[in-house]
């Protein structure tokens, strides 16, 4: 059961009041009793000291009987028991009892203390009168020696009666004070609890959506400041809520209008929201609240796997996928602040068809061009044999450009074939034999340019891959290295590195400027156009190399310093 703040504050105040009252009363009773006993003891000591001269005169004259009568009279007058004892503990006179019938008092604690010349004090049970008494014994000396003891005493029941009366009055006073404190506590607690209850009710109304509620307090204290702050907070919340509502409506409008499919998921893969385009793409209208695999596993297993990998690794991913015979570029990103995953599908079906059309066009045109170009080149060679020497120069120019066109067509056909194939046929490749054949192929060309051609490959080295394409890759890399190296060396290095095969082609040529490196694998891109045209380059060699590497699931890296040379490194996985 929930306790109100009033009951908690009041209960706390009540407990504290009772505890302090009990502690103060208990402590005060002890202090008052001790103080009262000390006061009585001092009074008894004064009485004893006052009796000492009279007692001494009786004892000097040996009038013990007269002393006993005197003591009894004095005891009755002052309502105090008086006893006179000699140094041997024998009772000489007593105001209550016959001294001759009383036992020896030498062992009484207050008497022993008086024998030492000090005032003795004791609160104990009297065996003579059978009651608890307060005893005070003062020494009576003669010639510097303690000869007698004058003892005065009071019955404890008299003391207790006085203390009891005093305690009753204190308790009555404390009860009145406690009652007034409780009334004050109720009033003080209500001054706190009532405003807080108003604030609590207003807070619940705001939580339910009523942002117009306000709290008006008459208090001139911190609670009034709290109420003012609360009202200001309510105004700010209303403004923020209005802004957020407008932003949400705007966002919903944007999400509904965009053509791309969009879905937001939690970290565990539950779909939080999806726009109209996504629902249209998947053909499912009630996506919210379902797991991603319920939507995409049947429509597109590849996108379901992509989402799963992205959620498990926490990385953003991009991949082309197929959903219901349409091609989409899927992009998955992670919103770190909200711990959510966003999937966007961009329809690239039309672009893919256009790309396919372009590839087919390039392939068909290349096929159509290759046959007449080959025929032209053949006829030029025939004409060259029959032509006069001074006219052969013109035929050489035509042959050079025709051969360049033939190379361009062949490269375009190769590139189109690689793009269309999409995969390779793995076989056992004798890398050592392949490198040796490439060395022989470029041996003459390297000697003509006085370039040292070197190779470093283990004996009888084999790997898994497409032998024809790997050879084509190395031919293009070595051909480029020799083309753009005027002096120095070109080296082919092959080695096994963990579970991968590393191919490295290094040259000491002109190098590649840093700003050109990101684009060298693009189609038709050349660093030096004039030199490339002079050497018969098509600008497709490195693009073909990259396609071959990617078909093998590998990577290619370039390190180059202008004026010092370049190094192309290819990593082909073997797992």
435-460 tens-digit pLDDT: 999 999 889 888 888 899 999 999 99
List strand residue ranges (DSSP E) for 477-529, in order.
488-497, 500-507
Q: Same topology for domains 6-162 and 258-344, yes or no?
A: yes
Q: In the sheet that 317-323 helps form, which strands lie side by side, from edge to edge? A: 271-274, 261-266, 340-347, 326-335, 317-323
CA dist 150 and 94 (Å) reads 10
pLDDT of res. 359? 61
- pLDDT of 31 strictly over 80: no
- Which CATH code of 3.40.50.720, 3.30.200.20, 3.30.450.20, 3.40.640.10 fits the domain covering 6-162? 3.30.450.20
Residue percentage of the chain with pLDDT more than 90: 9
Average pLDDT over residues 15-21: 71
What element of type H or E holds 384? Answer: helix 349-386
Average pLDDT over residues 174-192: 73
- pLDDT of 181 strictly over 70: yes
pLDDT tens digits, 304-333: 888 888 888 888 888 888 887 788 888 888
- pLDDT of 104 strictly over 60: yes
CA dist 275 and 89 (Å) reads 114
Taking the complete model, does pTM exceed 0.95, yes or no?
no
Average pLDDT over residues 518-533: 66
pLDDT of res. 36? 76
The upper half-sphere exposure of residue 65, i.e. CA atoms within 13 Å in the direction of its Cβ, equals 0
- pLDDT of 417 strictly over 70: no
Rounded to the nearest 10 degrees, how much is the dihedral formed by the CA atoms of 159, 165, 166, 170? 150
Q: Which residue has the higher pLDDT, 326 or 170?
A: 326
Q: Quick one: three-class SS letters along 31-55?
A: HHHHHHHHHHHHHHHHHHHHHHHHH
Indicate the fold that domain 427-573 takes in CATH: Heat Shock Protein 90 (3.30.565)
Domain layout of the chain by residue ranges: 6-162, 258-344, 352-421, 427-573
Average pLDDT over residues 422-441: 87
Mean pLDDT score of the chain: 79
CA dist 539 and 195 (Å) reads 83
Of 158-172, 240-254, 337-351, the one with minimum mean pLDDT is: 158-172
- pLDDT of 531 strictly over 60: no
What element of type H or E holds 441? Answer: helix 431-448
Of 18-32, 35-49, 147-161, 393-407, the one with minimum mean pLDDT is: 393-407
CATH H superfamily, domain 258-344: PAS domain (3.30.450.20)
pLDDT of res. 566? 92
pLDDT of res. 491? 93
Band (569; pLDDT cuts 50, 70, 90)? very high
Structure token pair of residue 459: 């004996």
- pLDDT of 15 strictly over 90: no
pLDDT of res. 502? 93
- pLDDT of 165 strictly over 80: no
pLDDT of res. 230? 75
pLDDT of res. 338? 75
- pLDDT of 232 strictly over 50: yes
Give ∠ CA 495-500-506 in degrees, rounded to 5.
45
Contact 341, 307 (CB under 8 A): yes
pLDDT of res. 1? 44
Residue 427 β-bridge partners: 465
- pLDDT of 156 strictly over 80: no
Residue percentage of the chain with pLDDT more than 70: 75
Yes or no: domain 352-421 corresponds to CATH 1.10.287.130: yes
CA dist 406 and 400 (Å) reads 10
For β-strands 145-155 and 81-86, DSSP reports them as antiparallel
pLDDT of res. 555? 92
CA dist 235 and 256 (Å) reads 31
Angle between helices 431-448 and 467-483 (to 10 degrees): 20
Residue 44: count other Cβ atoms within 10 Å of its Cβ. 25
pLDDT of res. 304? 82
CA dist 465 and 427 (Å) reads 5
pLDDT of res. 505? 93
- pLDDT of 208 strictly over 70: yes
């Amino acid at each position: 059961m929930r306790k109100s703040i009033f009951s908690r504050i009041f209960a706390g105040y009540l407990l504290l009041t009772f505890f302090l009252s009990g502690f103060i009363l208990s402590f005060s009773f002890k202090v008052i009793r001790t103080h009262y006993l000390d006061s009585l003891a001092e009074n008894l000591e004064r009485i004893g000291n006052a009796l000492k001269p009279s007692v001494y005169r009786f004892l000097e004259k040996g009038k013990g009987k007269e002393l006993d009568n005197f003591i009894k009279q004095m005891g009755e007058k002052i309502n105090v028991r008086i006893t006179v004892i000699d140094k041997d503990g024998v009772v000489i006179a007593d105001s209550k009892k016959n001294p001759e019938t009383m036992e020896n008092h030498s062992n009484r604690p207050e008497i022993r203390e008086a024998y030492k010349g000090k005032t003795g004090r004791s609160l104990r049970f009297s065996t003579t009168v059978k009651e608890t008494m307060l005893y005070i014994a003062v020494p009576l000396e003669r010639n510097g020696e303690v000869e007698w003891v004058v003892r005065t005493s009071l019955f404890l029941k008299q003391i207790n009666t006085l203390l009891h009366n005093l305690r009753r009055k204190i308790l009555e006073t404390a009860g009145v004070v406690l009652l007034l404190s409780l009334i004050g506590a109720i009033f003080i607690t209500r001054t706190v609890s009532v405003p807080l209850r108003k604030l609590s009710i207003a807070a619940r109304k705001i939580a339910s959506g009523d942002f117009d509620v306000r709290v008006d307090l008459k208090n001139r204290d911190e609670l009034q400041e709290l109420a003012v702050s609360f009202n200001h907070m309510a105004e700010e919340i209303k403004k923020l809520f209005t802004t957020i509502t407008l932003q949400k409506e705007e966002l919903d409008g944007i999400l509904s209008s965009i053509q791309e499919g969009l879905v937001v998921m939690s970290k565990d893969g539950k779909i939080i929201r999806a726009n109209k385009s996504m629902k249209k793409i998947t053909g499912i209208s009630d996506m919210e609240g379902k797991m991603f695999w319920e939507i995409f596993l049947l429509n597109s297993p590849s996108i379901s796997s992509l989402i799963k990998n992205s959620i498990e690794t926490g990385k953003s991913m991009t991949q082309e996928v197929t959903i219901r015979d349409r091609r989409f570029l899927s992009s998955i990103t992670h919103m770190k602040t909200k711990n959510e995953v966003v999937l966007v599908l961009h329809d690239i079906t039309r672009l893919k068809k256009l790309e396919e059309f372009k590839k087919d066009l390039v392939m068909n045109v290349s096929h159509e061009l290759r046959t007449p170009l080959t025929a032209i080149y053949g006829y030029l060679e025939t004409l060259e044999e029959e032509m006069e020497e001074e006219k052969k120069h013109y035929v050489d120019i035509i042959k050079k450009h025709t051969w360049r066109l033939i190379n361009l067509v062949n490269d375009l056909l190769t590139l189109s074939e690689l793009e269309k194939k999409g995969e390779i046929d793995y076989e056992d490749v004798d890398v050592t034999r392949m490198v040796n054949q490439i060395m022989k192929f470029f041996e003459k060309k390297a000697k003509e340019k006085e370039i040292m051609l070197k190779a470093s490959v283990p004996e009888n080295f084999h790997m898994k891959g497409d032998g024809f394409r790997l050879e084509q890759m190395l031919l293009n890399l070595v051909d480029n290295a020799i083309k753009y190296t005027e002096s120095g060396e070109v080296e082919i290095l092959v080695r096994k590195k963990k579970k991968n095969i590393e191919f490295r082609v290094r040259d000491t040529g002109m190098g590649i400027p840093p700003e050109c490196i990101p684009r060298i694998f693009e189609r038709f891109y050349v660093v030096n156009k004039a030199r490339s045209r002079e050497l018969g380059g098509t600008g497709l060699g490195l693009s073909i190399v990259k396609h071959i590497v990617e078909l093998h699931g590998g990577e290619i890296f370039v390190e180059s310093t202008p004026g010092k040379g370049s190094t192309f490194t290819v990593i082909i996985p073997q797992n």
